[in-house]
Structure 1
Amino acid sequence: MAQLLSIMDQIDRLFDELVHRRWGTRAGITPAQVKTVEDGWEIEIPVPGLKAEEIDVHVSGRELWVRGVARRQAEQRSTTGSWARLSRNVSLTRSFLLPYAVDPKDVDARLENGVLRIHIRGRGAR
């Protein structure tokens, strides 16, 4: 199974190279690192600006979805009496096609220092 994931990663990289060379970098796509670990896989996604309660990790069959949404607002008042309202929206949506269906109980996620780490326990890993 690890070989299949490696081949799928290579195909993704080749496709990305083709697209990037021809049309430029994919703007707005959050990078992710997928690696095989002793008992399954681990996915690492940088999610700066998001809190754990603002992130949803969902598994359905062979699909793993990661969604995060946050809206931040702040007001700034100057010494001259003027003020400004600043807002910042943070949004993330990523999906991954897994090599086989995964039970949601076999998926754990934790947020550490702005990086979401998703651990998927699975058959056939290593």
Structure 2
Amino acid sequence: MRHLTPWSERRLSTGDFFSEMERMFEDFTRNSDFPVSSGFNPVTDVEEEEGHYLMTIDLPGMKKDDIKIDVKNNVLTISGERKRETNVTEGKKGQRFERSYGSFTRSFTLPSTVNADDIEARYEDGVLSLFLPKTPETQARKIEIESKAGGFFDKLLHSKKDEVDVKTDTSRSH
């Protein structure tokens, strides 16, 4: 099993001492029987749309019941555990484990624009999707440009015109 190592297209320059030491350490840990684990830390994408945010989290190999989602004090927390299946077979000559397993917790501070009471979640094909709607007050609204009389500006302009007329009339009478 030691002779089966992942192929890497990238080879570091032998002229750079620190890069070469890093490469040697990676080769040593990759080809050793020592367990090297970085833990399970699922990757997350967040997209902002006009009326909502969409968060997607890769959780391959997990069951829906192993995932927990909480919102408290405007902090969204996703946690769970990905367990390693153990298949013990007599006569195995070696094993290699590259997939990450274990517990994870990801926490995100929600912007004040998110309506936490209406968050929805869906889990399908190893991907957790969270729909985070924005509050109606923070959503953009279209403002029509008025070109006719009647609205605030017409009232404002008429009141200023009346003030000017009153000042003009009082200055003429003196």
Q: What is the TM-score of this pair, normalised by structure 2?
A: 0.45
2:147 counterpart residue number: none
Q: List, as ranges, runs of 4+ consecutive aligned residues in structure 1 with deviation greater than 4 Å.
A: 101-104
Larger Rg belongs to = 2
Alignment length, in residue pairs?
97
1:3 counterpart residue number: none
For structure 2, which runs of at least 5 residues remain unmatched after alignment?
1-37, 93-99, 141-174
Work out whether 1:90 is the aligned partner of 2:90.
no
1:69 counterpart residue number: 81
Q: How does 1:1-126 map to 2 (within 5 A)?
A: 29-78=41-90, 89-100=101-112, 104-123=116-135, 124-126=138-140
Q: Give SS of 2:82's match.
A: strand
Higher relative contact order (CA 8 A, sep 6+): 1
The structure-2 alpha-carbon separation of the partners of 1:125 and 1:31, relative to structure 1 and needing over 3 Å to count, comes to farther
- C-alpha distance in structure 1 between counterparts of 2:83 and 2:44, whole Å: 23
- C-alpha distance in structure 2 between counterparts of 1:30 and 1:125, whole Å: 30
Q: Percent identity?
A: 29
Name the amino acid aligned to 1:50: M
Name the amino acid aligned to 2:131: H
For structure 1, which runs of at least 5 residues remain unmatched after alignment?
1-26, 83-87
- C-alpha distance in structure 2 between counterparts of 1:120 and 1:75, whole Å: 40
Q: Give SS of 1:74's match.
A: coil
Q: What is the TM-score of this pair, normalised by structure 1?
A: 0.60
Structure 1 position 118, deviation (Å): 0.7
Q: Over aligned residues, Cα RMSD in angstroms?
A: 3.2
Contact 1:61 1:102 (C-alpha < 8 Å) held by counterparts:
no
Structure 1 position 108, deviation (Å): 0.9
- C-alpha distance in structure 2 between counterparts of 1:44 and 1:115, whole Å: 7
The structure-2 alpha-carbon separation of the partners of 1:33 and 1:75, relative to structure 1 and needing over 3 Å to count, comes to closer
Compare the two structures and name the one with the higher strand fraction.
1
